[in-house]
Amino acid sequence: MMLMAAPFNATGTYGTATPAAPNLVLVAHSQTRDCGVAWIDSQVKRISKLKRNWDGYDAPAITLGQLNLLTSVLSSILPAGAPSGSIVPGADGSLQAEWHLRHASYGLVVEEGQPISVWYHPRGGAEIERTGIAAMSLLQYALLQTTV
């Protein structure tokens, strides 16, 4: 069983509890948690099986904490009717959910010890990036635009 951080605190970060993140609570999980959204659950299960060096260049395995954080965030803010996205591991150990649609591209990035970040790039416009709680609002806005 692996010890990992619960997904949310006031700054939108996760990781080891520190004086800078006193509200962080450690929770034990031995596997990924299903969120009930088929495309998320299937991609998270696939990524959870990746071992260190999954890319042939010594990339770290993606932690269960990151997978569960991403699952929790997406399941809490995905509006009904939102399109399926892609969940991709990063060679640096990060994890990203992304959507590339006709009107815009956007993504959610989870990196151990870093605030959650979101990028949103409307076609013909400038890219917007946010971290922490502001990132959640930006992603929710982007996802809502897909259901209108």
What is the identity of the amino acid at 92? D
User: For 90, phi and psi rounded to 5 degrees?
Assistant: -100, 150
Task: Tell how far CA 21 is from the center of its chain.
Answer: 19
- The CA distance from 74 to 96, in Å, is 11
DSSP 12: S
pLDDT in tens, 41-77: 999 999 999 999 999 999 999 999 999 999 999 988 8
- The CA distance from 142 to 33, in Å, is 25
* Domain definitions of the chain by residue range: 2-145
pLDDT in tens, 76-101: 888 888 899 999 999 999 999 999 99
